[in-house]
Amino acid sequence: MKRILIIVLATATVLCAFGADVVTSPDGRLAATISIINGHPCYSLTIDGTEVVRPSRLGLRLADGTLGADVKVAARHRDSRDEQWVQPWGEDDTVRNHYNELALDLRERGNGRLLRVVMRVYDDGLGFRYEIPKQAALGEFQIMDELTEVRLAHDAPAWSIPSNRTEYFEGLYERTPLTAKDTVCVPLTVEYEPDLFLALHEANLTDYASLNLTPRRQADGSVTLLAALTPWQSGVKVESRSGMATPWRTITVARTAGHLLLSRLTLNLNEPCRIEDTSWIEPGRYLGIWWSIHKKQNTWEMGATHGATTENVKRYIDFAARHGFAGVLAEGWNPGWAAGEQVTYLKAYPDFDIEAVCRYALDKGVRFIGHMESWGNAALIEREMDDAFAWYSQMGIRAVKTGYVGHLLDGKELAKSQYGIRHYRRVIECAARHHIMIDNHEPAMPTGLQRTWPNLMTQEGVRGQEYNAWSGDGGNPPSHTVTLPFTRGLAGPMDFTPAIFWQGDDVVPGTHPHSTLAKQLGEFVVLYSPLQMAADAIEHYQGQPAFTFIESCPTTWSRTVVPHARIGEYVTVARRERGNGGRWFVGSITNERARTLELPLDFLTPGTTYRAMIYADASEADYERDPYAMEIKQLTVTASDTLTLRLARSGGCAIRIEPIHSSR
């Protein structure tokens, strides 16, 4: 009998045993159990037979009581799916969506209200959410809290930023035990065991409040992470009515830190693309009148050193055309930057002829990238966006960077609240109608919505490169960019703005990029964004041999592999370009410790000979003493070769590998 039970557990989609319902991953290694304990729904998770998530409560607390208390299972629904879908852009060209699903209809014994819990289990993790079917017993309601828990069997080190002290998610991720943390933002990355990593997040955040987690130590040594939704100012978390579904609560599971980067769980738990024709959505590299403003050499507002003048933007366009860049961003092109000016996105400053600039750019094969800073005035964007996007599209603008600097949206609600989530979605959908791509700054944390709305190209929500211009703490530490891929990067593309070539500290003494030049190149590959800005002023790229790597580097990929990964210490990412070229691009970066890594090239196609152009730290390179020292060399390689990467302190390496010929 025992032998038969083991076979069933390994192969069946769902089974019910001892009053508990179990759903396993397609490979049988993960098993999620939903059970009713003392009338309350709970779930647990085992990985390779070991309990990792102990029974954890499910349910919602409404303004008039709990939804999901004293329930019984009214119905069970089972499903399995194994399909491939194509990304218009991304880190892979196709994504496999392979899961087993269990949905339980839970009916409350007293009043008959219905709550459905849906659990999907993948080989790389699980997602679950609540669905509230339309029902006479429940019309409009207010969610005051989720009762959702993740009860881990023991404490563990984790990387996070605190939710109540990190504006715009622009913080340094700190590694501490879970029990040492306050309420934190998701994603929360946990090194549960030396060979088991977990990432807790959410997917498909739609008309709901953003998720945070509060850790609490239990008497038995376990740690319970409680859902903590971002509220409206009234204290209500979500306003809704029956016929709704919450976002997915996700747990990504990986045996190595590198495999966290390869999970597509968050994307898979979003709805398929709603844009029928995506041909106008174009990833690419761009330049910007941006860094010179942060370095106080130009201004956003009109004046003697205004950055966004017709003449200066045309100069950037000329450079972009010569070096194969798709676009040029200019912040400060519209009124509203100086004190007393009224913000509008429907006209330009007098010294910036936007229509002439757009024509000039298109003649050069480049597009101007618009910018809409609102200072938190979301209502202004909503009033003007339809007319503004129509005007931009008419001029040939295809991408717009939006911004929300200001603690509260419209002076009243947090950007992470349901109020903010509704606003961001309206902007994305309006932009799609006008064939506009969005780069959203000061956003809610990304949750994979780019699958549904692939015009949502990239977002900030990260402590980016600008902190290396003016931050009073000296700028981002060397460990920052080797931590981000495993934390903020798990949420989706991030507009970090890499590739600063000049290390001057003329704004705040001691504040500058704490990295070598080779590391700046490596970050261009490691820190993924389909709209990737080479962020430095163009003067610092002129005549610089290292710039040839940036010139050639794509921003959308057919395949991604992660040969090396240790959170906060080092990471190597290799990506193959889309199309028939077959080129690979590799970025490898380290923290303040120099190290040597062996890179097997077994991701290359066997039987093909390649030319590898390597941009590496020179022997004397050091992020403090000599950040510019670089060695550029060319090698002939095959899939059977191994490269030795010598990374300086806070150093890196960037490699372009292109096929020469194939024996096939």
The pLDDT tens digits for 347-390 are 999 999 999 999 999 999 999 999 999 999 999 999 999 999 99
Q: Distance (Å, rounded) from C-alpha 193 to C-alpha 189?
A: 12
pLDDT at 580 (0 to 100): 82
- Any catalytic annotation for residue 466? yes
Exposure string over 21-40, b if 16+ CB within 10 A, otherwise e: bbbbbbeebbbbbbbbeeeb
Number of alpha carbons in the 13 Å side-chain half-sphere of residue 314: 13
pLDDT digits (tens, 9 = 90+) for 491-536: 999 999 999 999 999 999 999 999 999 999 999 999 999 999 999 9
pLDDT of residue 5: 32
Catalytic residue among 149, 239, 466, 523: 466
| Distance of alpha carbon 517 from alpha carbon 512, whole angstroms | 12
Quote the pLDDT of residue 663.
Answer: 61
SS (H, E, C) 91-132: CCCEEEEEEEEEEEEEEECCCCCEEEEEEEEECCEEEEEEEE
Kindly give the interhelix angle for 378-395 and 418-433, rounded to the nearest 10 degrees.
20
% the chain with pLDDT above 70:
97
Residue 662 confidence (pLDDT) above 90? no
How far apart are the C-alpha atoms of 502 and 535, rounded to whole Å? 11
* Burial tier of 544 (Cβ tally within 10 Å: 0-12, 13-18, 19+): middle
Statement: residue 7 has pLDDT above 70: no
pLDDT of residue 417: 98
pTM of the model: 0.95
Q: What is the pLDDT of residue 2?
A: 33
Task: Write down all domains in the chain, each with its CATH number in brackets.
Answer: 2-155+204-248 (2.70.98.10), 282-461 (3.20.20.70), 475-664 (3.20.20.70)
Confidence class for position 661, pLDDT limits 50, 70, 90: confident
Give, as one character, the DSSP assignment of residue 652: E
Q: How would you write 54-78 as a 3-class SS string?
A: EEEECCEEECCEEECCCEEEEEEEE
For 102-124, how does the pLDDT look when each residue is reduced to its tens digit (9 = 90+)?
Answer: 999 999 998 999 999 999 999 99
Mean local confidence (pLDDT), 445-464:
98
Mean model confidence pLDDT for the chain: 95
Separation of alpha carbons 218 and 221, rounded Å: 5
Around Cβ 120, how many Cβ atoms within 10 Å? 26
Q: What is the Cα Rg of the chain in Å?
A: 25
**78-102: pLDDT as tens digits:** 999 999 999 999 999 999 999 999 9
Give the Cα separation of 173 and 158 in Å (integer): 9
What pLDDT does residue 664 have?
55
Amino acid at 110: G
Residue 126 has pLDDT above 60, yes or no: yes
Describe the strand order of the beta sheet including 238-241 as a list of residue ranges: 65-67, 60-62, 140-146, 238-241
Take residue 661 and report the two structure tokens written for it.
């010929």
Backbone angles phi, psi at 209, to 5 degrees: -95, 150
Q: Tell me how far apart the alpha carbons of residues 516 and 537 are, in angstroms, rounded to a whole number.
A: 17
pLDDT at position 581 is 83
Q: What is the DSSP letter of 2?
A: H
Q: 613 and 587 in contact (C-beta within 8 Å)? A: no
pLDDT exceeds 50 at position 12 = no
